[in-house]
Amino acid sequence: MVYRGRLSGKRRSGNGVAAAGIRSQTMLQGIRNASQHWLGKIVLTIIFTLLIAGVGIFGVEEFFRGGTSNNVATVGSTPITTEQVRQAYQNQIQRYQAQLKRALTPDQARMLGLDRQVMAQLITEAALDQKTHDLGLAVPDSAVIRAIHDEKSFQNAQGQFEPQLFYQTLQRAGLNEGMFVREQRAVIARLQLAEAVSSDLHVPVALREAVHRYTTERRGAAYLMLTPSTAGQIPDPTEDELKTWYEANKSGFRAPEFRSASLLVVDPVAMAKPDAISDADARAAYALNKERFGTPEKRTIQQIVFPDHAAAEAARKAIEDGSKTFEAIATERGTDDKDLTLGTLSKPELFDTTVADAAFALPEGGVSQPVQGRFGTVLLRVTKIEPGTVKPFEQVEGEIRNGLALARARDAMETTRDAIEDQRAGAKPLADIATERGLKLITVKAVDPNGKDPEGKKVTDIPDPDTTLPALFRAEIGGDNEPLRTKAGGYVWYDVTNIDPAHDKPLEQVKDGVQAGWTATEIAKRLQAKGRELVEKVNKGESMEDVAKEVGVNLQEVQDLSRNQAKDMLTTDDVNLIFATPVGKAGTAAAKDSRAVFKVTSATMPAFMADSPSDRTISQNFQAALADDVLSEYITEVQKNAGVKVDATALRRAIGGEY
């Protein structure tokens, strides 16, 4: 048995745990296979969450004994502990921060609903565990051990289970074997339950045929377009009409909140002083990094692979005494021109370091001794040498000085931050700090949450707006704000100096826009009325040609229309309405600022063939969807029958703060 004793070690957090979690997330092969359906994805999420969380609970000797903990929720008799919630919540935040490439505040996390996502996931898992317990589903130790032994992440190069590798992987993730075994046992039991509920589902023929009809039907139509000019002259609105329309559409003329602010930016690029770099330091950096300031030596290398050292040595001697050429031996070995030449490569570009050392020790045209490479014994020949080049110091001096200055500025960032924070603690204004330190103070006169000024133009001088703007709109006038870290490694201090709340713009200020909106609405009403009139005439027997002549527009014909696909002058909505109209009937639909009047002229579709390739594709696609639905309904019913209780106070304590 592998599972003896305990794994020790401190819990880990941050990038170290994330990396360990990623290395450890490839668990059991059966779970991988099961991840193609909905529950399997839940299972993988469980494992990933627990591995990154990196908590050790018990060793294997204590595995069959329960522990006690504070519970946030229970599903039946299955508890969800405070620690489970806290770990899952923090892990979810870390994943979102990695995706967004910025930190999330607790308020932002709750606005995204991460707390609800985590609780829904944990309740689902607990419901499945409760049901497996109720049904008496059990996974024996032998099955768990066999599954772990079969996991490739814990196997050596010979495909054998390696206990040391197993322990090292768990230790890097901060886990012990008891915790790991417990989770695998639960996961396997859940999969057994999921397979019993959702396996061998068949998609009904009626559903497959309906999908076939929906996706393969094609339609033809005749149509005309009523343009705004068709509506005729629209008289100017009265004041009462403008006021009525404005009141009904006031939200479209609402001014967003604007804020004014002062920003003090400490940026390493701006603080870098290349002129302060001494000549000695610049030349020392050049000497240490010469290879960066030129091109490396490259060689065109040929290679012949042999089954063993003796065969390679015999070939080398034949080349040396002139009885055979390098090319002739390559032909004998079945190596064609394409495979003979490795390419023109620098030394680091060669994957096999032994081959690289041998090749770069040869003169041009020279043939190597037999070389034992990673993929066999080889003979090498260098057919061309392109010498490396190095730019002189004077040519790259500016680049070196800039690089050193930037590195020093970044190293000084924390010292500068602490000094400015001390000044801020002494209530010194940002403007005074900027003047004293020779830093630029950015004054933002007015900006909305989208980064635009009152004229709708982008405010361009706000650093890292994705981070800075949300912070500005969370802050208060006179508030004590923490500095923001920039992507370049600097800091931004900010003070909100004025807040202009969002408000409705008065009618007099937006009168031109209101009149334009009212006019567009009147045109749309007239076109809609005209469209209905023409549809009624067509449905009573008049031809599309006659109604087109009546309004003085050209009649269009279109064929091979597909659902949800715009074509010619018809929008997607127009096309979908054509599919909702019986053949031989007319209809009308808005088409941007115009209006379409159409008559459906044809509807065709290929015959449904059961078990055809397309029918099998439909079955495969909908089988997964049916499994999702069945599992979802089953889990909902399990939760309902078992009973779910959530302690709101414990939940707030687990995730921190109110929500």
Residue pLDDT, tens place only, 456-477: 999 999 988 988 999 999 999 9
pLDDT reported for residue 164: 67
Instruction: Examine the pLDDT at 230 and tell me if it is beyond 80.
Output: yes
DSSP secondary structure string for all residues of 91-113 = HHHHHHHHHHTS---HHHHHHTT
pLDDT reported for residue 375: 64
- Sorting pLDDT into bands at 50, 70 and 90, what band is 292? confident
Instruction: Examine the pLDDT at 51 and tell me if it is beyond 70.
Output: no
Residue pLDDT, tens place only, 474-506: 999 988 888 998 887 888 999 999 999 999 999
Segment among 57-66, 202-211, 233-242 with least mean pLDDT: 57-66
Segment among 267-271, 380-384, 463-467, 515-519 with least mean pLDDT: 267-271
Q: What is the dihedral of CA 149, 152, 157, 160, to 10 degrees?
A: 10
Tokens of 24: 């450890």
Domain 294-390: which topology?
Answer: Chitinase A; domain 3 (3.10.50)
Instruction: Examine the pLDDT at 264 and tell me if it is beyond 80.
Output: yes
pLDDT reported for residue 27: 37
Residue owning tokens 């018809």: 570
In a 13 Å sphere around the CA of 141, the CA atoms on its Cβ side amount to 10
pLDDT reported for residue 173: 64
- Sorting pLDDT into bands at 50, 70 and 90, what band is 318? very high
pLDDT reported for residue 289: 82
Give Rg (Cα) of the chain.
Answer: 36
Answer for the pair 507, 519: CB distance below 8 angstroms, yes or no. no
Report the candidate in 547, 88, 535, 564 with the shortest Cα–Cα distance to residue 556. 547
Is the whole-model pTM more than 0.85?
A: no
- For the domain bounded by 71-200+643-655, which CATH number is listed? 1.10.4030.10
pLDDT reported for residue 59: 31
pLDDT reported for residue 176: 66
Instruction: Examine the pLDDT at 142 and tell me if it is beyond 50.
Output: yes
Q: How far apart are the C-alpha atoms of 550 and 480, rounded to whole Å?
A: 71
pLDDT reported for residue 636: 87
- Sorting pLDDT into bands at 50, 70 and 90, what band is 100? confident
Provide the total of helices (H) and of strands (E) in the chain, helices listed first: 26, 19
Q: Across the beta sheet with 258-266, what order do the strands follow?
A: 441-447, 258-266, 491-500, 484-485
**Which position has the higher pLDDT, 172 or 262?**
262
Residue pLDDT, tens place only, 506-536: 999 999 999 999 999 999 999 999 999 999 9
Report the candidate in 164, 166, 156, 175 with the shortest Cα–Cα distance to residue 48. 175
Mutual orientation of helices 613-642 and 114-135 as an angle, nearest 10°? 80
pLDDT reported for residue 181: 82
